[in-house]
Structures are given as C-alpha cells and as structure tokens.
Structure 1
Amino acid sequence: MPLNPQALGQALDEDLTLHTTLCRRDAPAFQKACRSSDELVVACTQESRLFAELSEQTEGAVSLDVRPIRFVNIRETGGWGREAAMATPKMAALLAAARLPDAEPVPTVTYTSEGRLLIIGALEDAERAAGLVNDALDVTLMAVGGAGMQSRRYPVIGGDAPHLTGWLGAFDVQWTTRNPIDLDLCTRCNACIAACPEDAIGLDYQIDMDRCRSHRACVKACEAVGAINFQREPQTHSDTFDLVLDLRKTPAFSQHALPQGYTHLPGGLGDAAALQALIQLRDLVGEFEKPRFFTYKQKLCAHGRNEKVGCNACVDICSASAISSDLKRNQIVVNPNLCVGCGTCTTVCPTGALSYAYPRASEQGVKLRTLLATYAKAGGKDAALLLHSQEAGAALIGDLGRAAALDKSVRGVPARVIPLPLWHTASTGLDVWLTAFAYGASQVWVLMTGEEAPQYRDAVREQMAVAQAIVSGLGYSGRHFKLIEARDARDLMALDAELGEAPAQVVQRRASFAVQAEKRATVELAIDHLLQDSAARPRTAEAIALPAASLLGTISVNKDTCTLCLSCVSACPASALQDNAERPQLRFIEKNCVQCGLCEKTCPEKAISLQPRLLLGEQRKQLRVLNEAQPYRCIRCSKPFGTLKGIEVMLAKLGGHAMFQGEALERLKMCGDCRVVDIYSNPGETKITDM
C-alpha cells in the first residue's frame, strides 16, 4: 500500500509524518498526539477500538469526550487494488473530509421501555423464547396454536389474530377472545383433553368448535373454576406492551421498515440470527434516543389544497408507514417515532417541504465540496462519488478491497472512486447529485445492498433519470448517474466491474456555491452554474424534455376550454401561477413550478396538463401569459367583471333554470353592486342574491 506523505501534506496544507505500524511499534507517536488538544484523525478503521483504548490509557491524554478521535478508512477504499499507486488524491480527499466537524445536533425522539414483552406464536415456541429472556423482561404470551408445556410459568392470553399499532415502549394490542377455555385460568392439567370424546381440544388448550358436539364432558372434568365456559360472550381486549416478539410466519405489520421494538422471527429460534435478535431484545429496557431525521415546512408542501390531493410522493414512498395525509389542513403528518431516517421522502419531495436534518443539506454540501476540491488539488481527475450505507455498503466495499489484496484479477476500488458513507442510500437526491456534478464530480453512483425497500430503488432510479436527462441535454457526454446493486460477497465481481466504468465528461469550471437549506434553491444554483458552464456547447432545442418524475416543468393550458376562473391560481402552492389585477390573465413563472399537479386536478374544465421539462432561456424565470380573455362589462355601469367567456358559460348553464328568467337573467349580466341596486329598485320581485 504505497503512501506519499509529502503529496498528502501538500494537498492538506500540513506537514505529515508517515507511521507504518502506528498501532504497534510507533504507538508512542500516537500517544504523543493524544496529549495535544489539536484535532486527531487516524487513517485506520480496523484498529479503531485499540486506538481508543490506547488513548484512554495514556497519561495526560485529552479526554475523548472533549476531543474525539476521527477514523477514516483509506486502505480498503484505495490502498488495495491495481490502482493503489494512483490513490493519493483520493486518500487526501478522505482525510480532509474526516477532519470536518460532526453534524450539528438536532432535536431527538425519545423512547421509554420498561421491558414488558408480548410474545406471539405457537405456545411451545413462545414458552421456549420466553425462557431465554424472562430474566431481563416481563413476559406475556399470546398463543396462536401449538402445544404448551405442563407448567404455567407466564401469563397466557388467547384469541383472534391480534391487531398491533405503535412502537418501542408504546405498542397497543387489541384482540378478541371467542374460545371457551381461558388460558390464563387453565392449569394445564390435561383433564379436558382426556375427557373430550371428539378430540376437539388440542395441546394448545383451545377448543375446535367445528368438532365439538356440546356434550360438555370437559366442563365436568375441569377443576379450575371458570377455566371452561361455553356461555362466555366474545370479548374485545386491549393492552399495552413495550416490546413485541412475533414468531408467526406473517408479520403483524405490512410495511418494509418494521417499528422499533417489534421483532419478527418467522423461522423460529433455530439459527444464530434469531439468537442475536433475542440478545438485542433483552437490551431494550430503559430510555433511548434517536435523531429527528426530518424537518417539515408546511408552507412549502404541495400535498393538497381545498381537500384535493396534489403531490402524494412522500406518503406513497415511505416504507415505515410514518407519513399520512391530513387533507383538512392541506398537509402531511410525519410520525417521528415510526420514522427510521431513510430520507427517501426528502428525495422525492418536489418542493423541499420535507428536508433531511441529520446531516443537514448545508453540512452535506460542505463535505462534498471538501472531498472534490481536495481531490482536485492533489492532482486527481474524473472523480466518481460512490454513495453507500454505513454498515452493509461499507462492509461490501471492505470485502472488495480485501479481495483485491488477495486476488490479482480483482481491480478493487479504483483510484478515482471516492466512497462516501450515508445513514441511508436513499437520503440524497437531485439537489445533491447535481451539486456534486457542478463541484467537479465526473459521476455520482449509489450503491444499494438489498437492505433498502424495493420502492426506494425505483425512486432513486427515477430521480437519477431526471438528473441524467438534464446534464445530457446540456451537452455533457457519458453516463453521470448510476444505481449499483450488490447484495453480498457473491456480487463482488459484478461490483468490481461496475466500479470500472469509464469516466463521463466533467464541467469545465467547478462551482463554488454553497448548498442551501431549501432544496429548490440548491437545484436552481446547480442548474444556473451548469447552464453557464455549458453555454458554448451546441444545443438542438430550447427546452430539455424530462421524465415524469421531474420536479421541474411547465403546464399547458387549453385556451378553448379555459374560462379563466383562476381556481388554479389559488390552488398553486409555489406561486407559479398568478393572476393579473388589471385584466383577466393567467400568468406563469416556470422556475417556480414543482409539477405537483394541483392545478391540473383543481381545474373544473380539465384545461391544464403537466409538461416536465427544463427551459434553457431566461424566460424560465420571467412571468409569461398562458391565457387571457376579453373582460365582460356590466350592462348597467360598464364596469368590467369576470370574463366574456366565463359569463357566457354561466348564462348558458343557468338560462334554462326557473329562477333565472326575465329580469333575473339580466341581473347575471351586472356587476355585484349593480345587481344589489337593481334588486332593491324592484321590491316586488324575488330577490336573487349575489352570485
């Protein structure tokens, strides 16, 4: 693994000393650094635990609470492989990014668990699982078939399939009991089983009512008062639990991301993964916190207006069922307890009403700019950003690096590919990708490992298609955005081939703008930079056609059917559609349009349709008239009100109505003031209120 401390130092503006065995023979150098209050970055993740322990044991070392050690992996990501000798710019970029401060704290979500555990499953399986956790948790069993043990060591409830809602520390469970045997009163003496001539009672101590012939021999044999009662009416019960262990084949929740505190083991307790899940379950007692991963700005939300749904992207995409619609308030509601921080809702949100909070967009932008600027300063070219998850993705990249060290046929991570770990691979979208390209990245790739929900892969592909259409339409050649799928070590060779793709064309001048808190503001900055950078490239059209998932575009108005009622103006959440106080006009600013579809769904004449595109001229930022009409003038005072076409449509619709005949029909041709005057000038006539 060749290291060039002089070249790295020049890129980082530091004097660097190379230590080849820092965790062993050169440990005193590390201990000396621990005593300094300066920032401390260690370019080795394999021995992070050893370095942390060594720091704690070093006399005079600065506490890790005051000055934490930052770790970065430059070995598997670049040091091992065919191109290790060319990986110095990437190593410099990774070291520079590792020196950045941690993300600013955000509000947290708190869970409190007292260890009340409900185990759902066949009775014998539930009892066996209970035996492994009952010393740490307060266990209740819900039997759904199976045979039970003779001893009754845990509370047991039975009934129809339970209905579960909630999360860690706050699960609500509802079920209905219909069976004559009360499992909580049953002593497991088996007298009822022996007495039943139809064998209608199983070892789960529940009666098969289809086989029972009502001779009631079991009631006579049972010595536990009230344990068997055929007259018992079905009863609905509810209870709360902190944790749920579900041993059934089908989980209680249908979403991909299950609530925290809910563990589903359809395969039973027979493998190592199940035992590991039980160990983790035992630790879920106490108070726990997680970041509140999102921020929501209702004023930017295009979900609904006037109880009509426009954009429903976040509700449809959420794999945790954490987002719901509240049309009465024209907004969405995000349950922070169910949110798992995947961030896909922010990726598909066209307006930026939902934004990712940890890290914030500005912090993510600083990291991107630091990585790419340092890489370029160190002499690197054609950088490709590889966005991956912190656990499964990082492990797969590590496996590829180790494979390259052992097998010369494996390329390993190329020198130009810069891995960037994310909390979740679907948490970045068009604004981040275009910004990275504007900062000088040749390509932006997202590595997904199968842990993501299927709809997340589809959403990322769709948004990448939009990004690719923009840069291709601006004249940049090559494929700049790509989704890579690799699940485990069996896919290493395919991953190795994917990372070997040739570079795509880069910008001539790297951007310097900062990523903004507002998503669309960042998108606009990126587009403006790319328009300027690509101005000299040949263009065949004034607009770039974009895929349907685009958050950019225009609308088309059918002037033959549009009556300029302007209901679309009041429905538009982004002020893209505007009226004119001076005359009947429908005006439009294309830059503001988020393609939410509210105008299309609100229009009573169905005169509006969406057209995803990127207009390349300055007209995109300017008001333009989509439709205008001749105003209709009051027949009494000549004051303009409404449009000629609108009034004519109203007269045609109401002309045959009994209430609008003669003078009443003429009043419809008057402005509101003249209509009132005319009504009270003819008191004998029926008064028609202002339309």
Structure 2
Amino acid sequence: MSQKLVCNCNGTMPLDAKALGVPVHHSLCRQEVGSFLKALDGSDSLVIACTQEAALFGELADQADKPLVAPLRFVNIREVAGWTQEAKASGPKIAALLSLADMPEAEPVPVVSYESEGRLLIIGSGSQAIPWAEKLSASLDVSVLCTEPGELPLARNYPIYSGSVSKLDGYLGNFSVDWDLQNPIDPEMCTRCGACVEVCPEGAIDLSFQINLDKCKSHRSCVTACASIGAISFDRADRKRNSEFDLILDLRLDPKMRMSQTPQGYFAPGKDPLEQALAVNQLQEMVGEFEKPKYFVYNEKVCAHGRNGKVGCNACIDVCSTGAISSLFKGGQGSVEVNPNLCMGCGACSTVCPSGAMRYNYPSVPHQGKELKTLATVFNAEAKKINQTLAPSLLLHSLKVGTQLIDGLGRSAHVLPKQFEGLPSFAIPYGIEHIASTGLEFWLGALSYGFGEVILLLSGEEDPAYRAALEEQIHLANAILSAYGFDARIQLMAAQSADDLSVISKAMGALRQRGALHSICTPASFSFSNQKRETLEAVLEHLQKQAKTPLPAAGVALPKSSLIGSLAINKDACTLCMSCVSSCPEGALLDNPDEPILSFIEKQCVQCGICVQTCPEHALTLDPRLQTIEERKKKTALNEAQAFHCISCGKPIGTSKMIDLMLAKLGAHGAFAGPALDRLKMCGDCRVVDMVKKEI
C-alpha cells in the first residue's frame, strides 16, 4: 500500500477526512510542505492528490537525500470532483480515484526505435522554403525542394532541387521522396554563374534560375552558355528524382499526404508564420535516437483478413488513419502487415477487429479491466456507506486533449459556477491513450462490473473514420443490450476542441439533471482477457444470466456490423463441396470424414464473410444475430445429404446431389460417352482399374 497525501487546496474543496480515511492538508505545496518531505523519508510509495504542483513535488523529491521507493504517483481530484457543483457529494468518486492511483503500474511494453541524423527536406515555394533553409542550415543537414520558383542564394551551402512531389512515404529517420524535375534548368547542377540570365533575349530567366516557359521562345542561347556546366536541357529524358531524408518540413498549402494522421518527423504547418516557427523548433530537437511504445499485438493465426485467395475482413485496414496497415497474401493465405513506426497508437484497429487478431496493448487489456473493476467496486462500496444505490458513469477520454478539456471545464466551473457545469458526482473520468482504442467488449464489460453507463468523450482531434467506427460499435453494443431487455447505456459526447467547454458543460448539466442510473446487473467476477472473443463471451454470459427478457429461440437480429452471428444456407443450392470449410479462418465450419455433413459452431464465427465469397454456388449468407450462449456453443448441422458410393467398391465419394450435378454437366461431352460415363460414378482407384481392364 502507498501513503496518500490529500490537500483541500487552501480550503477550496469540501473534503471529508473521516470518509476518505486519510488526513486532509490545507496547503501541502506551501506551509505544509514539511509533511511531504517527511513522507519522503518513509518506506511507502507516495500518491499525491494534486496534479497542479506535480513539478514542484517532483523537484523536491529529486533533491531529497533518500531515493524514492517508487516513482511519485499523482491523481487529480480537484478539477474532476472537488471544484464541481456536486463537490460535497463526490466522496465516493474521490475514493475511487485514489484507489486507482494506488494500483500497480502496467507492465512495460516493447518499444519502437527511430534514428534521425537531421537530414531535413523543406518542400514549398522558394520564397518560403529558402528563408527557413538559411536559418536551419547551421543546425540541420538541410535540402530544399522548390515547388515554385524563388530567388536562390548564390552560395551553394545546401542542395536545392525543383519540381513537383510525386510520392512521399516514410517516418522519422526513414522518409523517401520522389519528385519530377519539370524545368529545363536543374538547380542541383546549376552553379548560379548567371551566364544564362545574361544571354536570354526574352528575359525568361531570373535569379530563381528557372526558365519561365511562357516567355521562352526556344532560342536556346542559354543552353549554349551553360554548355560546360550542363545544367540546362530542354530534351531531358530522365526527369524522375528520389532521395532519402530523416525529417520533412512541408510548406505547401496542400501537402496531400496519403494519411490523415501524419507520421512522426513530418510537419505541415501551413502558411501561418507562428505555426511554421513552432514546427521548426520541434524539428531542431528531432536529431538522435528516439523510442515510442509498440501499441499493438497482432496474432496472425486468428486473423480473418483472407483465406484461399479470398479477402474477408478489411476492418483494420479501412480504419487506420496513418497507412500503417496493409494487406499481405502468401500462398493464398491472407494476413495484414503493420508498420510499427507508422502506427500512432489510436487503437481503432483493435476496436473494429472481429476476431481479436489485432489487440491494443498500451496498457494491456487485462490491466485496464483490473482498473475498471477497482473503480466500480470502490465507488459502489463508498456510495453504499452513505445510502446511495445508484451506479457511477464511466467517462472515457483521451489522456492528452481529453484531460485538458476536463481540467479546463473543472477550473471554469469553479471560477464561474453559474456559467459552467463541472462533472457530476457520479461521473468518473478514465483516461486512455486514444479514445478509439476501446470497443464493445470493453464497454459491456464495464457495465458488467457495475457501471451504470459508458460515455465516450470526443475532444475534436480524432480522425473522422474513428468517430464512424465508434458510432458503429456503439450501435452494435446498444443493440446487444436491447436484445437482453436493457436500455441503451453507451453514448458519444463530442466537443470540437480542447477549448470547446460550452458544449461539454451543457452535456454535463443535462447529465447532472438526469441523475445517476442503476446498474443493469450485479457486478461480475470475471477478468478481462487478452483474447477479445474470450472477454466478449464472458460478458455475454454474465448479461444473459441477468437479462430482463430471455432471448427467443431464433435469436435477435443484430446490425450488419456485428462480429457475432450465424450463417443462412440455401440447401437446394449447396452441393456440400466443403469449400467453405477450408476457407474458414476460425474453425466455425466443419465437415465430417465419414458422411456428407456440413456443421457449424456459431460461437466461433466472426462474420468475416470469406465463406460467403468462397462458396461456388453462392449458397451462404451472413446472419448477424444474438443467440443464447448454450446455442452458440453447439455444433449444428447446416446441411447434410445422402452419400453416393462408388459403384465398384462401395466407398463413399461424395453426395448424390454432387454426382448428379456432375453427370448432368459432363454427360453430354464426347469424352464420357458410353461406358466412360460410369467412371464418373467411381472412386479414383476404381476408375484407373476400369480404364486398364478396358484397354486389355
């Protein structure tokens, strides 16, 4: 256990020391700082309920003689509870947040490395790119690609190219840029001697050392003047250029990168001089070796992207805003390939993945599950002590911008309580790396642990694809709740930016006026698993046991986006060829070696659709639905038929329907006329024997 240091911030928070079970300081960061220094000498780790003065406490800890038992942990109770309109009723929430801060930290994850030598390419018009190149050339290895002419410096202190970008790929330390040289003058070769400027009769060449082709009348005097240098050619065949860089400063108004969330090392600040200056400051710090977490874990064995040359699930590829995920087929088997250097940690791929092949790992899912269980358990236990029976609301938000938004709202509600609404006493904020990194098994799991609802706070910086994916997942999660007789308990709450306090304030006011909700079930005891389907099955089993309405025998239809469901089969069209069995990546479809039976286990199906695309007779269609746990675990026969036995040895060789179909298609062919037609009714061995006998 850790020692908790709680402060009421100069009496501005009505904290109950007895209810919290810890002493409450009045000015821990000032007059009572001795209490903090004394705690440093203890043998316990420290949790400090103040993020405002985290830098001060950290500095004091660094100056202490005794090394820390563990890194300081900070938790914000002021903006999210103590400074809200319901501060006096926020005791259970504060207790829950303190318990969360007391939990062990998540296990470290692997890291992704970058190495930058400071090779910077500045792209843009010469008038903008050259001045920045002059400033940066002393500290970085600068090159310039002028997309529009601009006056060039006479000194060749750094490479200057011209042309239009045709391709730009990569990440910090590993950018590749292709461009097309469009002007007859190649500035890379040009010595800027000015001979071409002097001899041009049309004045088509100026100090940009590029030819204005609208003025040029093709006298070619410039070519003659530059003959010994060779920088000018009107008939240049090879116009394509390529080079590698560590950093990119893209000053074009329309950068046109292929992804909406650009990679590390790439800056496109637009035309605003202040934004350009901020980008330049960051560029100068991006020389050396860098690391970031590897946010994901990919399990190819359960991936439903493709099988037998057919593409099934493309969800992760479609939602990725960085272009980090691509399709990969080897030997007909499809999987996806993730470039960890391009991955920015949004986690949307894991949210939309139906099989759990793509898993978010920063932190791990089991760790997040433990934190959710702690928050719900402590809140409900503390609420029960003061005769509160309603459940907490889980407010999910991104750690960076979402935290800024919530903190800003808390400060505004404290200073201007009549104008801004803070968080209700029952709304517990829970920060995650990115709002898109959780899906329906996480949200439904939170409800199973005792939360009354789950609210996803969008803070404006998300890619549109993320919002669409979250809305789709929320629609599915609420449809599952409805199937069990519960009302919708998962919703989005959206702000335009971290400064957009009015929208969130209004939403919090409506939430407070409505009040807390009852939990939909008794708290579950299961733990979150690294396997998405395992967690989902545990959640569904728990909800089914406490459902308000039992599921009908045929199940309940779910939206098309569902990752659970069945298959509908047209038995008249199906020939039991079993192509679907070999194509299923999850083992949901099964054949029988002894008789022609196509079986199905609904629990295994991820609704990827590969079987539908593989079926040569188009006999299968997806049937998204929610069945009981017991029915979903059963192996059921989708189709079965009478076996056809070899007319020679009696061994089963297929279905009667399949043989009849083959006879109908091939019987009219000359190669199968007469006795040869009977060979189609034989197994392979007997067919060979019959052919040999007939030849003898």
Task: State the TM-score bracket (shorter-chain normalisation).
Answer: over 0.9
Name 1:688's counterpart in structure 2. Answer: none
Which residue of 604, 611, 626 maps to 2:616?
604
Pick one of 462, 466, 481 that aligns with 1:456: 466
Q: 1:640 to 1:85 in 2, by over 3 A?
A: same
User: Which of these residues, 285, 288, 291, is aligned with residue 289 of structure 1?
Assistant: 291
Matches within 5 A, 1:96-115: 96-115=99-118
Note the C-alpha offset of 1:507: 2.7
User: In 2, are the aligned partners of 1:544 and 1:616 still within 8 Å (CA)?
Assistant: no
Counterparts in 2 of 1:160 and 1:495: CA distance versus 1, 3 Å: closer
Query: 553-562 or 374-383, which moves further after superposition?
Result: 374-383
Matched, 1:652 2:659: no
**Residue 455 (structure 2) aligns with:** 445
Alpha-carbon distance, 1:199 to partner: 3.8
Deviation for aligned residue 1:573: 1.1
The 1:6–1:231 alpha-carbon spacing in structure 2 relative to 1, beyond 3 Å, is: same
How far apart, CA to CA, are the structure 2 residues paired with 1:168 and 1:110? 10
Q: Which moved more, 1:638-647 or 1:215-224?
A: 215-224
Answering whether residue 671 of structure 2 is matched by residue 668 of structure 1, we say no
1:370 aligns with 2:374: yes
Shifted more, 482-491 versus 364-373: the winner is 482-491
- Confirm or deny: 8 A CA contact 1:343 1:424 kept in the other structure: yes
In the alignment, is the contact (CA less than 8 A) between 1:315 and 1:325 conserved in 2? yes
> CA-to-partner distance for each residue in 1:66-111, whole Å, 9 max, x for gaps?
5100111111111122111111111111111112222211211110
Structure 1 residue 642 and structure 2 residue 646: aligned? no
Alpha carbons 2:258, 2:323 under 8 Å: kept = no
The aligned counterpart of 2:410 is: 401
- Pairwise mapping of residues 142-541 of structure 1 onto structure 2 (< 5 A)? 142-152=145-155, 153-188=157-192, 190=194, 192-193=196-197, 195-219=199-223, 225-230=229-234, 232-268=236-272, 270-271=273-274, 273-328=275-330, 329-379=333-383, 381-409=390-418, 410-477=420-487, 479-488=488-497, 491-499=500-508, 500-501=510-511, 502=514, 503-534=516-547, 537=549
User: Residue 247 of structure 1 contacts residue 264 of structure 1 at CA under 8 Å; is this kept in 2?
Assistant: yes
Where 2:142 maps in the other structure, the secondary structure is strand
Deviates more, 1:493-502 or 1:662-671: 493-502
Distance in 2 between residues matched to 1:369 and 1:284, nearest whole Å: 40
Is the 2:294–2:340 Cα contact (8 Å) retained in structure 1?
A: yes
Q: Does 1:134 align with 2:137?
A: yes
Aligned to 1:34: 40
Report the Cα offset of residue 408 of structure 1.
Answer: 2.5
2:375 is paired with a residue whose SS is helix
Post-superposition CA distance 1:486-542 (Å, at most 9, x none):
0236632321232333344423310011101100000000110111122x5466665
Amino acid in the other structure paired with 1:42 = I
Cα offsets for 1:524-574 (capped at 9, x unmatched): 00110111122x546666522211111110010001101111111111111
Provide the rounded CA distance (Å) in 2 between the counterparts of 1:455 and 1:434.
Answer: 22
Structure 2 gaps of 5+ residues are: 1-12
Residue by residue over 1:165-185, the C-alpha shift from the partner in whole angstroms, topping out at 9 and shown as x without a partner, is 211111122233343222134
1:19 matched to which residue of 2? Answer: 25
Aligned to 1:13: none
In 2, distance between residues paired with 1:182 and 1:105? 51
Residue type of the partner of 2:429?
P
- Aligned-residue offset at 1:220: 5.3
User: Which residue type is aligned with residue 431 of structure 1?
Assistant: E
Classify the secondary structure of the residue corresponding to 2:165.
coil
Task: Write the distance in 1 (CA, Å) between the matches of 2:203 and 2:263.
Answer: 40
Q: Does 1:625 align with 2:637?
A: yes
SS in 2 for 1:682: helix
Relative to structure 1, the CA distance from residue 591 to residue 77 in structure 2 (aligned partners, 3 Å threshold; closer, same or farther) is same
**What CA deviation, in whole Å up to 9, does each residue of 1:292-344 have, x standing for no partner?**
11111111001100110011111111101111111224211111111111110
* 1:597 to partner: Cα distance: 0.3
Q: Distance in 1 between matches of 2:492 and 2:192?
A: 57
In the other structure, the counterpart of 2:122 is 119
Distance in 2 between residues matched to 1:527 and 1:582, nearest whole Å = 35
Counterpart of 1:73 (choices 76, 81, 97) is: 76
Deviates more, 1:51-60 or 1:159-168: 159-168
AA of the residue aligned to 1:25: Q
Structure 2 length as normaliser, TM-score?
0.93
The Cα shift of 1:593 comes to 0.8
CA distance in 2, matches of 1:566, 1:43: 62
Q: Is the 8 A contact 2:485 2:549 kept in 1?
A: yes
CA distance in structure 1 between the partners assigned to 2:452 and 2:490 by the alignment = 9
1:419 is paired with a residue whose SS is strand
Give the share of equivalent positions with the same residue, in percent. Answer: 48
In 1, Cα distance between equivalents of 2:214 and 2:648? 83
Instruction: Give 1:190 shift.
Output: 4.8
CA 1:226/1:508 → structure 2, altered by over 3 Å: closer, same or farther? Answer: closer
Secondary structure, aligned partner of 1:73: coil
Q: Structure 1 residues 34, 223: closer, same or farther in 2, change over 3 A?
A: farther
Q: In 1, Cα distance between the equivalents of 2:196 and 2:671? A: 79
1:565-584 equivalences under 5 Å are: 565-584=577-596
Match of 2:695 in 1: 683
> Match for 2:59: what amino acid?
E
Q: Which moved more, 1:135-144 or 1:215-224?
A: 215-224
8 Å Cα contact 1:578/1:588 also seen in 2: yes
Contact 2:149 2:210 in 1 (8 A): no
- Give the match's secondary structure for 2:625: strand
Indicate if the aligned counterparts of 1:163 and 1:252 stay in contact, CA closer than 8 A.
no
Q: How far is 1:263 from its partner?
A: 1.0
Q: Distance in 2 between matches of 1:593 and 1:185?
A: 62
Q: Which moved more, 1:537-546 or 1:459-468?
A: 537-546
Distance 2:596 2:498 in 1: 65
2:89 alignment partner AA: M
Distance 1:448-1:33 versus aligned 2 partners, 3 A rule:
same
Structure 2 Cα separation of the partners of residues 607 and 76 of structure 1: 59
- Inter-partner Cα distance in structure 2 for 1:174 and 1:227: 20
Counterpart contact for 2:401–2:498, Cα < 8 Å: no
Structure 1 unaligned blocks of 5 or more: 10-15, 685-691
Counterparts of 2:287 and 2:594 in 1: how far apart (Å)?
66
Moved more, 600-609 or 76-85: 76-85
- 1:97 alignment partner, SS class: helix
Could you give the per-residue CA deviations for residues 416-453 of structure 1, whole angstroms, max 9, x where no partner exists?
11111111100011111111010011111111122111
Aligned counterparts of 1:660 and 1:529: Cα–Cα separation in 2: 60
User: What amino acid maps onto 1:322 in structure 2?
Assistant: A
Number of residue-to-residue matches in the alignment:
671
Provide the secondary structure at the position in 2 that maps to 1:333. Answer: strand
- Structure 1 counterpart of 2:77, which letter? I
Residue identity opposite 1:51 in structure 2: F
Question: Does the residue aligned with 1:59 lie in a helix, a strand or coil?
Answer: coil
Offset of 1:198 from its aligned partner?
3.1
Distance (Å, rounded) in 2 between the aligned partners of 1:197 and 1:159: 25
